[in-house]
Structure 1
């Protein structure tokens, strides 16, 4: 139906599929993957992003070949979006699918592609679409953050693996993540932090909102991403 662009029929089929075949996590994972393709074929990128993100989180519940497709699609999508944190994560996901070989040569070549793309992307523009009373999260790739349109949100936070920074909501917010955030860290912890800051922007609003985010400055992620 999707290949034939029969989207009305597909929509009805999805309703039946949801009713009868989402009883366990494996079925739910397959459902959201198929639903992501429904949005992809219609170029509805918000819906595609939502469904693909859930399928990627649940990928271990999928058959090997579909798990590979999900991880590969996630890599392409996150690279396109400029979400380099998750792009590096997806490379390691491809490298850890039981029963599917992802050669070291391909892995290193893919890492280099993302490294080069990150270097060629000094500014990353994103948009967070916040639903009423729900949390939305954007993983960050660069350390200087500017938001527009966050004057009415109830929660605005930078969340890193080692700290949480509450930001005061306003129409325009600027923040620079400290490269040396915790001087008291052990050497091993400092090494992990240098590999990847693993930070994100968390937003919650009592009403629907669209937050524009611009990332510039130094890269807070790299190919040494800690996939754990």
Structure 2
């Protein structure tokens, strides 16, 4: 729920978010804005929202004021209550570089609707700009803001933030923020990566992954599989 600081008018809005180790949720800054006229006054996270009737879903309160945020990188990390991480687990983040038409996937709630997965023709563009921005052609809509772009090893490598893709225009693209840039700025997410690394099984050899430092930006490996029939298995690291 967003409130206009000038008029007092309140309006509902929806985005996508991910559970992070330490009882946090990751989304875009523009979903929980801390500047401008609109400010969040109430927020919640709906987990396992798989059907329109909401059957089987569960809601958790989210602090509307993020612990960390960046308008430039368009990310926000907010505290979530109710033991959501203990019940559902948390995503895995990695500072890898999905370059060269790398195949990706995105799990999101377009238009605030039940969870879907975009994978067909979902890839990073060969031509990329310098800096933190990642150009991709994964199909999204409003409400998909704050969704992670996952590598085939079920690791979040970028945070989707803006549309612009035109299926009829092969040069068009959506934009995301590289996780390497976000991790470099976020102490909360750095701690989450360290926690996940401590709990994870032994990593592949450096020769297979291009390095074993989770905070170092390295070319993305092709290890790991994907259970397309169970999207939650990605989020839970299974």
TM-score (norm. length: structure 1): 0.28
Which of the pair has more CA radius of gyration? Answer: 1
Higher helix share: 1
Q: Tell me the TM-score normalised to structure 2 length.
A: 0.27
Which structure has the highest strand share of the two?
Answer: 2
